[in-house]
Structure 1
Amino acid sequence: MTRPFSGRRPTTAWAVVVLPEPDSPTTATTSPGPISRETPCTTRVRVPRLV
């Protein structure tokens, strides 16, 4: 490697990588179903009364 000129960086060589095509589509073709809740929205927590 030679010393760079004042104020300049040495040239960087970038490697090019060629990847093979995927075997299947990369995006989902079906959307997931709705998520159900395990407890209803009307569930309440009972707070003990202080005596």
Structure 2
Amino acid sequence: MPEILMAWDAKVHFLQMTNPNGSPTPTPSKEAAAKEARMGFRVAAMSRKMD
């Protein structure tokens, strides 16, 4: 889990630095990003087929 959050932060930083519009987009708070990641994992787990 920490590796995923670190990769997410790095991707956001990269996108901010390479934004062609010149102004970085506002970053979500760590709590909001963690909540979004948890919800994504829940959806992925619930959509998995149990064989």
Common fold: TM-score over 0.5: no
The interval holding the TM-score normalised by the smaller chain is under 0.3
The structure with the largest helix share of the pair is: 2
TM-score by length of 2: 0.23
Q: Between Structure 1 and Structure 2, whose CA radius of gyration is higher?
A: 1
